[in-house]
């Protein structure tokens, strides 16, 4: 197995870089001796460190949920089983179809048994209301709905029932952070418990990252998360973006609008906070053939605000329903 040979004193920093760039081969255990750590990597790459070949122990493949339940559920029940789940910290959130409602606690217990890092299992609800939160039913494990979730060098504390949060947007948050230039001033509308705010502030040289959130519980967690991550280039504000953003009286270099259901309704707010060169990231749930509708709404809003714009990219950032995806439409004010 090809490994990168790293002095022990540099191991933590190198591991962090390897993980950020998806270079570690997670199928194998690392090896270490008195002076060096040998990280298994997917391929060699330019580095000041040497690459060597080592015999490494391969990690055992964890049996999937469907496999572990083969002897506990009927064959027809297994056809309805949802194998994917959202994991936030040590909380797993399962989607239980109506056909398996009577077996939900059995399934939840198996998730606990198979994943030692999971302490609580909840049943997924439906996102509703202005805050886009969901009612979650406790199925197994510790009776808590508060978790500390880690991603992209930050920690995020939140109540998974009272705060809208998607761990599936971790890669998108990383993608956005990589786009940011030194000295940018950034506005995150609908900022929740501050995942985009924290990831950007922690991983870039942005001058300032401002978040605005209407949910008081999410805002309280945002305040905690700014402190938890020791950030000093952020500001988070409670209230409706339509009233808060104008009071901030600033023009931003970049504006994020991660509210997929109806973000286009707030385009006027974003455009009023923009200037020549501002890049806006608007999120929307659409089928691919419907994207032109969102783009047309953007162009109409810009025309109404007497601004010109250029569509830079449309990025698919996850699936919402069959044939319906979460898109990030990126455009620049000219």
User: What digits encode the pLDDT tens for the residues 139-166?
Assistant: 999 999 999 999 999 999 999 999 999 9
Euclidean distance between CA atoms 199 and 210, whole angstroms: 12
State whether the Cα torsion 182-183-184-188 is positive or negative.
positive
For the chain, which residues make up each domain, given as ranges? 2-53, 65-144, 166-333
Non-local (6+) Cβ contacts of 35 within 8 A are: 7, 8
Nearest to 22 by CA among 7, 45, 42, 50: 42
Euclidean distance between CA atoms 257 and 282, whole angstroms: 5
Euclidean distance between CA atoms 279 and 297, whole angstroms: 16
Euclidean distance between CA atoms 216 and 131, whole angstroms: 10
pTM, two decimals, is 0.82
Element (H, E) at 188: strand 185-189
Confidence (pLDDT) at 63: 55
State whether the Cα torsion 132-137-141-144 is positive or negative.
positive
Confidence (pLDDT) at 27: 85
Which CATH code, of 3.40.50.11690, 3.40.718.10, 3.40.50.880, 3.30.300.110, is assigned to 65-144? Answer: 3.30.300.110
166-333: CATH number: 3.40.50.150
2-53: CATH number: 3.30.70.2580
Contact 246, 221 (CB under 8 A): no
Confidence (pLDDT) at 62: 53
28-32, 122-126, 209-213: range with highest mean pLDDT: 209-213
The tokens for 150 are 């880690």
Confidence (pLDDT) at 83: 72
Contact 233, 209 (CB under 8 A): yes
The single-letter DSSP state of residue 41 is B
User: What digits encode the pLDDT tens for the residues 277-301?
Assistant: 999 999 999 888 889 999 999 999 9
């Amino acid at each position: 197995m090809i490994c990168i040979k790293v002095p022990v004193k540099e191991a933590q920093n190198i591991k962090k870089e390897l993980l950020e760039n998806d270079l570690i081969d997670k199928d194998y255990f690392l090896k270490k001796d008195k002076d060096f750590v040998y990280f298994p990597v997917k391929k060699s790459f330019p580095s000041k460190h040497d690459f060597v070949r080592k015999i490494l122990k391969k990690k055992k493949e964890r049996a999937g949920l469907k496999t572990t339940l083969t002897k506990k559920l009927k064959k027809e029940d297994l056809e309805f089983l949802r194998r994917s789940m959202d994991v936030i910290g040590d909380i797993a959130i399962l989607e239980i179809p109506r056909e398996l409602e009577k077996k939900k606690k059995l399934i939840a217990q198996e998730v606990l048994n198979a994943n030692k890092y999971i302490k609580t299992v909840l049943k997924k609800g439906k996102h509703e209301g202005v805050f886009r939160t969901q009612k979650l039913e406790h199925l197994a494990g510790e009776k808590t709905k508060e978790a500390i979730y880690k991603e992209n060098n930050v920690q995020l504390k939140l109540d998974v029932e009272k705060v809208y949060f998607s761990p599936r947007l971790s890669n998108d948050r990383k993608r956005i952070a990589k786009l940011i230039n030194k000295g940018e001033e950034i506005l995150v509308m609908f900022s929740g418990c501050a995942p985009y705010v924290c990831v950007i502030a922690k991983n870039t040289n942005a001058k300032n990252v401002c978040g605005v959130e209407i949910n008081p519980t999410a805002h309280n967690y945002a305040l905690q998360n700014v402190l938890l991550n020791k950030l000093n280039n952020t500001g988070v504000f409670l209230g409706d973006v339509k009233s808060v953003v104008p009071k901030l009286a600033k023009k931003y270099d970049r504006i994020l609008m991660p509210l997929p259901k109806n973000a286009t309704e707030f385009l006027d707010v974003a455009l009023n906070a923009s200037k020549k060169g501002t890049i806006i990231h608007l999120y929307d749930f659409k089928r691919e053939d419907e994207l032109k509708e969102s783009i047309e709404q953007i162009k109409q809003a810009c025309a109404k605000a007497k601004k010109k714009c250029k569509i830079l990219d449309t990025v698919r950032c996850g699936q919402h329903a069959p044939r319906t995806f979460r898109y990030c439409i990126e455009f620049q004010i000219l």
